[in-house]
Amino acid sequence: MSEHRSGFAVGVTVFAATMLMVTGVFQAIQGLVAIVDDSFYVVGQEWIFSFDVTTWGWIHLIVGILVAVAGIFVLGGAVWARTIGVAVAVFSAVVNFAWLPYYPVWAAVIIAIDVFVIWALTVHGRDVVS
């Protein structure tokens, strides 16, 4: 019996893995900027999640590395990698929601990409498995 793989599903999953890697690298760079020059980000409103900008830098650096590594493993198509990819994307979305007062447009873009990645990996991820 031959399995039919949807080209669209495979393409969406590969795109989701690529987006995980790209947004992970961008978040790591964003974290490095906050660590090196904590006056780069200007805080607008004070929210309940008011950490020091350097602390946010370390959070973004670590989350960015985790997201990028998860994207690399998702390309392999393993079920555990998709599960980790979804978990890391959820965590990334939550972290960026808390980051909204510091860099609102970028945080909203990352949240939207994370939602797309979660959708792609949960709906179409199983079509990539060999």
Tell the residue number behind the tokens 């990996």, with chain if given. Answer: 121
Q: Could you give the CA distance from residue 62 to residue 57 in angstroms, rounded to a whole number?
A: 9
How far does CA 38 lie from the centroid of its chain? Answer: 22
Task: Write down the pLDDT at residue 2.
Answer: 46
pLDDT band at 12 (very low <50, low <70, confident <90, very high): confident
**Paired tokens of 119:** 């959708």
**pLDDT computed for residue 104 by the predictor:** 86
DSSP 3-state of 92: helix
Is 111 a residue whose pLDDT tops 90? yes
Question: Residues of 24-45 as b/e, b for ≥16 C-beta within 10 angstroms?
Answer: bebbbebbebbbeeeeebeeee
Dist CA 53 CA 39 (whole Å): 8
d(CA 110, CA 91): 11
**Which token pair is 43?**
């805080």
* Residue 5 or residue 52, greater confidence: 52
Q: Has residue 35 got a pLDDT over 80?
A: yes
Could you tell me the pLDDT band of residue 75, with boundaries at 50, 70 and 90? confident
Round to whole Å and give the CA distance between 123 and 50: 35
User: What spatial distance separates the first Cα and last Cα of the chain, rounded to whole Å?
Assistant: 14
